[in-house]
Amino acid sequence: MQVILYDTTLRDGAQGEGVQFSVEDKLRAAKKLDQLGVHYIEGGWPGANPRDIEFFEQARSLKLTTAKLSAFGSTCRPNTPAEQDPVLNQLISAQTPVVTIFGKTWDLHVTHVLQTTLPENLRMIRESISFLKAKGREVIYDAEHFFDGFKTDPAYAISTLRAALDGGADCLVLCDTNGGTMPLELSAIISRVKELVPAPLGIHAHNDSGLAVANSVIAVQQGAAHVQGTFNGYGERCGNANLVSIIPNLQLKLGYKILAAESLAQISSTSRFISELANMIPDEKQPYVGRSAFAHKAGMHADGVIKVSQSFEHINPSLVGNNRRILVSDQAGRGNILARVKRYQPNIDKGSPVLSTLLNKLKQLEYQGYQFEAAEGSLDLLIKKHLGMFRPSFHLEDFRVLIARDSQDSMSCEAIVKIRVNDELVHVVSNGAGPVNALDQSLRKALEPFFPILQQMVLDDYKVRVIDGSSGTGALVKVLIETRYHGDTWGTVGVSENIIEASIQALVESLEYGLMTYETSAGQSSAEAGV
């Protein structure tokens, strides 16, 4: 059975707390989802706000190759003819090939929220869909609160579906709007609906009970061929069903046809792309696509997965565009270290004494407060130093930071650094927004003439963690820095009782790792030319 994907990230997902899309963000997201192979993209509610109005105007020029764009709205208002309803006419004005409308299924909402009669609600559903169909639109009907409505009054809930079918709806989507339905309960209700209403069915689940993915998968197993959800599970309250989990669960675990293999391999990068557009930090523990999804920390686990991948991995990470990560920490065994060291010394074996001394060194450093799980750049530098393979690109000879406040309460920060590149000593001074920024500016000012590639290496994130709060302001602190070069990122770490010293450690290692990994022969020649 072909499963149809209906993405509502740009409408339902945008209602999630902290999620924010600009018009340009929504247009870029729509293109990305289309490239992935999503079948329907719900763009928003025309007329609801200026952003959605502009989106649908600009979306008319989108060249979508796979997806159909849908506009979302509600049935007509009580006691209002469909052709006179402003919401329905705004949906037509959006000029999308597909329109999705929701209607009330639960008698509680009909009588207490809409404050109308049960027969009038059926009229609203039927005539709204009939009006849209007469305008040449494909119409998807979302039966809001269907499962709650069915549990309260099954006969009336079914009558709303029949009204939608009478109006000409192309698909009836059963919505668990409050997200409170249990999987076996949902399965039984869908089975009953199939007997009573012979029509294409879909599922729209919310995650208030943590069951939206499970309920969506079970709905498909019960015959629903249309699945609605959002990327990364964004949505109101606890979010919507997460398509990033639903897609590989259905395709890799249950054998349903959804995406081409090459598209499925893009799901991890698409997940991160949508996170960036939504201004949300990616969930690193997200199944399938998170950086931790195939990360192995315990020594026994790492040893096992290196020998036989399926011993501790339920799928091949590459199927979803992810990667295995062997973490190195004080929980690590020889297998963890071996996998990392082999990048630089492929012929090393597990019995090498080098691994023992390196492992002991790592455990000692982690005991002191270092953390290498999120600082793989620092880890690789440490390994290369231990193997005698590291040649520093520069030496930080000295640094000084001056912080002052004038009589106008204006703060100034100045950093002075002395750096040696080969035999040349460079002495520079820079101002910054703060002491760490001033140091970063000085380091780059000194090094960029020798290594122009540093201009393309951007500091993405800077975090400070207190290691032992009992020491108050004299506590050890850990500074973690994330640096980006085009699409690649790496972390480095520094630890000290002095936050400036910890910061300069992490900053220097971030630049050293970048130069070690990406510096071209042309860049090296430029450094040598400065001798």
Token pair of 81 as six digits: 């003819």
Q: How many CB atoms lie within 10 A of CB 164?
A: 31
pLDDT for the residue 466: 86
- Point out the least confidently predicted range of 111-115, 277-281, 516-520: 516-520
pLDDT at site 342: 85
427 contacts 418 by C-beta, under 8 angstroms: yes
Show the tokens assigned to 438: 């001033």
Question: What Å distances lie between residue 187 and 152, 174, 192, 326, CA to CA?
Answer: 17, 12, 9, 39
Nearest to 129 by CA among 69, 170, 70: 170
Taking the C-alpha atoms of residue 358 and residue 379, their distance in angstroms, rounded to an integer, is 11
Query: What is the C-alpha to C-alpha distance for residues 16 and 235, in angstroms, rounded to an integer?
Result: 4
The H-assigned helical ranges of 135-260 are: 146-152, 154-167, 183-196, 212-221, 243-248
Yes or no: say if 477 and 466 are a contact pair by the CB < 8 Å rule: yes
**Are 278 and 272 in contact, with CB atoms under 8 Å apart?**
no
Beta strands in 319-421 (DSSP E): 325-326, 395-405, 411-421
Residue 469 pLDDT: 64
Least confident of 11-15, 22-26, 303-307: 303-307
- 410 pLDDT band, cuts 50/70/90, is confident
| pLDDT confidence of residue 281 | 81
DSSP 84: G
Q: Where are the beta strands (DSSP E) in 56-150?
A: 68-74, 98-104, 138-144
Domain 4-277 sits in which CATH superfamily?
A: Aldolase class I (3.20.20.70)
119-131: b (≥16 Cβ within 10 Å) or e? eebbbbbbbbbbb
Q: How many CB atoms lie under 10 A from the CB of residue 326?
A: 21
DSSP letter, residue 394: -
pLDDT in tens, 42-54: 999 998 888 999 9
CA 287 to chain centre: 11
- Which pLDDT score is estimated for 148? 97
Count of helices and strands (H, E) across the chain = 19, 16
Is the pLDDT at 93 greater than 80? The verdict is: yes
pLDDT given at position 299: 61
Average pLDDT, the chain: 90
SS3 at position 275: helix
pLDDT at residue 131, as a whole number: 98
393-407 tens-digit pLDDT: 999 999 999 999 877
How far, in Å, CA of 163 to CA of 192, rounded?
A: 17
pLDDT of residue 367: 77
pLDDT in tens, 361-390: 887 887 788 878 778 899 899 999 989 999
pLDDT at 335: 63
Q: For the residues 136-147, what does the mean pLDDT come to?
A: 98
The fold for domain 395-529 equals Double Stranded RNA Binding Domain (3.30.160)
Coil, strand or helix at 436:
helix
Measure the CA–CA gap between 8 and 344, rounded to whole angstroms: 45
- Report, as an integer, the average pLDDT of 464-477: 77
Q: What is the mean pLDDT of residues 348-358?
A: 83
409 dihedral zone (left: phi>0; alpha: psi -120 to 50; beta): left
Q: Give percent of the chain above pLDDT 90.
A: 71
Tell me the pLDDT band of 530, cut-offs 50, 70 and 90: very low
pLDDT at 526: 40
What are the boundaries of each domain within the chain? Answer: 4-277, 295-367, 395-529
